Amino acid sequence: MLRLEHLQTTMARSVLAMEPMIAAKMLTAGKADPLARLRIYQNNTRSSLTAVLMAVFPVTVRLVDERFFRFAASEFIRRHPPVESRLARYGAGFPRFLKTIDTLSDMPVVAETARLEWAIAEALDAASLPPRSLAEYDKTDLGPSPGILLQPSLRLLVSHWSILSVWTAHQQAATLDLTTYETRRPERVALWRTGDSVRLILLDRANFAFRHSLKHGLGLEHATMRALALDPSFDLVSAFVRLFGDGLVTDVRLPTYPLSN
What are phi and psi for residue 249, nearest 5 degrees?
Answer: -85, 125
Q: What is the pLDDT of residues 23-57, one digit of tens each?
A: 555 655 566 666 666 666 677 778 889 999 999 99
Q: What is the pTM of this model?
A: 0.84
- Mean pLDDT for 167-173 is 82
Residue 215 and residue 123 share a domain:
yes
Check pLDDT > 50 for residue 1.
Answer: no
Q: What is the largest CA-CA distance in the chain?
A: 87
Residue 39 and residue 112 share a domain:
no
**How many Å apart are CA 102 and CA 94, to the nearest integer?**
15
Helix (H) or strand (E) holding 110: helix 108-125
Check pLDDT > 60 for residue 109.
Answer: yes
Residue 15 and residue 132 share a domain:
no
Domain hosting 90: range is 1-98
Residue 68 and residue 15 share a domain:
yes
Residue 129 and residue 47 share a domain:
no
Domain C-terminal end among 49, 82, 98: 98
Q: What is the pLDDT of residues 148-169, one digit of tens each?
A: 999 999 999 999 999 998 899 8
- Mean pLDDT for 16-29 is 56
Residue 59 and residue 110 share a domain:
no
Q: What is the pLDDT of residues 215-236, one digit of tens each?
A: 999 989 999 999 999 999 999 9
Residue 245 and residue 129 share a domain:
yes
